[in-house]
Amino acid sequence: MTNNKKIVLVVGAGDATGGAIAKRFAREGYVACVTRRSADKLQPLVDSIQAAGGEAHGFACDARKEEDVIALIEQIETELGPIEVFVFNIGANVPCSILEETARKYFKIWEMACFSGFLNAREVAKRMVTRNRGTILFTGATAGLRGAAGFAAFAGAKHGIRALAQSMARELGPRNIHVAHVVVDGAIDTDFIRDNFPQKYALKDEDGILNPEHIADNYWYLHSQPRDAWTFELDLRPWNEPW
């Protein structure tokens, strides 16, 4: 690959945060490569970026399957350009009492929100170290700092992804790769919050829930930081969110 395109890869490009991050980087001239398990769900995002004058490509990929991840990274790097920024944005927030949690669901949540982050970040890091540059950003949550009642599986996965980010930052920082972990502490302006937590969503008009575009601005900020003042962990919360 000899072209001058710069790629941002967003794994877990949903309709809110992931999509907003892809759009933010596309505005800066990056080619947005976005993934979900279903490519059809990505088309509105791809169309929106292209309509705004950017370039975007959607990929169906099961982020939990090693062979699929390896093939995806190879395809992007070979056909489109070097991945300069990698964003892992898979959540899997499924509440359940520990007394009712099943082994199958606990494992699936860990697999989605932690193991897939390892697979994707490892493959991207392999490419970045050959170029001696890059940014790797993980979307975390309050659950990565403290586990709440009813969220044992999610907390375990998010603690795991935070630990992965910490380890990678220490190993890859000296190789000019910025690894950062973003703690999103609060409800985000999504259809899920609107439909399931109307009282929380009602706080939107007073800036009481997180705007995905403002979250995305912080991801761009992290990527843009000079390396003499890199941030490892950034937490974002509305003004009214309790600590």
Residue 2 in this model has a pLDDT that exceeds 70: no
Question: Is 1 inside any structural domain?
Answer: no
Number of structural domains found in the chain: 1
Q: Rounded mean pLDDT of 162-173? A: 98
Question: Is 84 inside any structural domain?
Answer: yes
Question: Is 241 inside any structural domain?
Answer: no
Express each pLDDT in 109-142 by its tens digit. Answer: 999 999 999 999 999 999 999 999 999 999 999 8
Question: Is 2 inside any structural domain?
Answer: no
Express each pLDDT in 17-68 by its tens digit. Answer: 999 999 999 999 999 999 998 888 999 999 999 999 999 999 999 999 999 9
Record the pTM.
Answer: 0.94
Question: Is 146 inside any structural domain?
Answer: yes
Question: Is 129 inside any structural domain?
Answer: yes
Give me the CATH number covering residue 160: 3.40.50.720
**How would DSSP label each residue in the chain?**
--S---EEEEES--TTHHHHHHHHHHHTT-EEEEEES-GGGGHHHHHHHHHTT--EEEEE--TT-HHHHHHHHHHHHHHT--EEEEEE-------B-TTT--HHHHHHHHIIIIIHHHHHHHHHHHHHHHHT-EEEEEEEEGGGTSPPTTBHHHHHHHHHHHHHHHHHHHHHGGGTEEEEEEEE-S-BSSHHHHHH-HHHHGGGGGT-SB-HHHHHHHHHHHHHS-GGG--SEEEE--TT---
Question: Is 219 inside any structural domain?
Answer: yes
Domain, as residue range, for 98: 7-236
